[in-house]
């Protein structure tokens, strides 16, 4: 069963369900005014995207389909995203609880709007942490992910289908139909899930309804991220961001002290400090 909790629920309860079930819906994750302001900000950009476009290769093409508009690099495109979504307190709480035991800092992995148009077929079931296959059986979580509803999600318009409990399954176990639940939810709610949880975008079988959702995920600070967040936003723009935003975009060096060693340094310094002091 897919559990639903309110965003006002105790954070410990949300963490517990996420760790036990591998997924849950948090109702009211974003206030209506945030959803409205964000949609207004990105509407034109999303509308300009061509659904039928070639991606990286056949697997990527099959996953993302030919009837879905995609907009990524959202920190570059949206002030609302940077101020109200990227640093959402619940993301911070969940990432601190689930990722921080295995890293000194976590980072944005991917920010990605999917607008599923009528006729879009369902994605194949997958785990998002499949991006790091060498860690497929790691005894710890490497990614905390979410799909935010920017329009209502229904069974008919392509609500994400998710398999609670699958984060603890052998990687080759195939879900039965009764184990798959659609994340039916209003705009502003969010499906939160672990990188190890099976899920897939649903098919849009409506005649004319768009389903707009947004994937936002975070990963251990020592992993390479799915989107190249350094190239996604020009450095001149990054310089205008707050240190908190710069840090979560990956500009903070990952300091493995006291074991030793740092990742992401520049000239033996922390890029975040270089940005703060005007040296980058
Ligand atoms: Fe996915």
Local confidence band at 69 (pLDDT 50, 70, 90 cut-offs): very high
Q: Output the CA 126–ligand 1 centroid distance in Å.
A: 6
Q: How many CA atoms lie within 13 A of 83 on its CB side?
A: 9
Q: Output the CA 213–ligand 1 centroid distance in Å.
A: 12
Q: Output the CA 189–ligand 1 centroid distance in Å.
A: 17
Q: Are strands 161-162 and 190-194 parallel, antiparallel or unpaired?
A: unpaired
Q: What ranges make up the beta strands (E) of 17-166? A: 23-27, 68-72, 106-116, 143-149, 161-162
Residues with CB under 5 A from ligand 1 (ion): 128
Query: Residue 72's beta-bridge partner residues?
Result: 112
Q: Where are the domains of the chain?
A: 4-230, 234-280
Q: Output the CA 37–ligand 1 centroid distance in Å.
A: 25
Q: Is the pLDDT of residue 49 over 80?
A: yes
Q: Output the CA 217–ligand 1 centroid distance in Å.
A: 10
8 A C-beta contact, residue 240 and residue 220: no
> What is the model's pLDDT at position 29?
98
Query: Residue 110's beta-bridge partner residues?
Result: 217
Instruction: Provide mean pLDDT across the span 51-69.
Output: 84
Q: Before 258, cis peptide (omega within 30)?
A: yes
8 A C-beta contact, residue 98 and residue 15: yes
> What is the model's pLDDT at position 59?
83
Structure tokens that stand for 267 in this block: 């000239």
Q: What is the largest CA-CA distance in the chain?
A: 58
| Residue whose entry in the numeric block shows the structure tokens 């992401």 | 264
Q: Is the pLDDT of residue 258 over 80?
A: no
Q: Output the CA 268–ligand 1 centroid distance in Å.
A: 36
Q: Output the CA 195–ligand 1 centroid distance in Å.
A: 8
> What is the model's pLDDT at position 18?
98
Structure tokens that stand for 179 in this block: 């184990």
pLDDT tens readout for residues 101-148: 999 999 999 999 999 999 999 999 999 999 999 998 899 999 999 999
Superfamily in which the 4-230 domain is placed by CATH = q2cbj1_9rhob like domain (2.60.120.620)
The pTM of this model reads: 0.97
């Amino acid at each position: 069963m897919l559990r639903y909790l309110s965003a006002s629920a105790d954070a410990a309860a949300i963490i517990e369900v996420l760790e036990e079930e591998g997924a849950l819906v948090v109702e009211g994750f974003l206030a209506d005014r945030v959803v409205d302001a964000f949609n207004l900000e990105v509407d034109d950009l999303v509308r300009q995207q061509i659904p039928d476009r070639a991606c990286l290769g056949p697997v990527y093409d099959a996953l993302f389909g030919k009837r879905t508009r995609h907009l990524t690099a959202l920190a570059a495109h949206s002030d609302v995203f940077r101020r109200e979504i990227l640093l959402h307190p619940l993301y911070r709480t969940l990432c601190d609880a689930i990722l921080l035991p295995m890293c000194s800092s976590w980072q944005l992995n991917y920010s990605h709007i999917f607008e599923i148009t009528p006729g879009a077929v369902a994605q194949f079931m997958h785990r998002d942490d499949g991006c790091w296959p060498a860690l497929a059986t790691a005894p710890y979580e490497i990614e905390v992910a979410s799909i935010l509803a920017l329009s209502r999600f229904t069974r008919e318009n392509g609500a994400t289908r998710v398999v609670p409990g699958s984060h603890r399954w052998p990687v080759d176990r195939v879900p039965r139909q009764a184990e798959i639940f659609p994340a039916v939810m209003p705009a502003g709610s969010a499906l939160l899930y672990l990188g190890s949880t099976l899920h897939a975008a649903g098919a849009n079988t409506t005649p004319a309804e768009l389903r707009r959702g947004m994937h936002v995920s975070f990963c251990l600070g020592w992993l390479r991220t799915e989107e190249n967040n350094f190239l996604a936003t020009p450095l001149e723009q990054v310089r205008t961001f707050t240190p908190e935003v710069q840090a979560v975009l990956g500009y903070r060096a990952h300091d493995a002290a006291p074991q030793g060693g740092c990742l992401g340094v520049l000239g033996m310094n922390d890029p975040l400090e270089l940005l703060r002091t005007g040296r980058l």
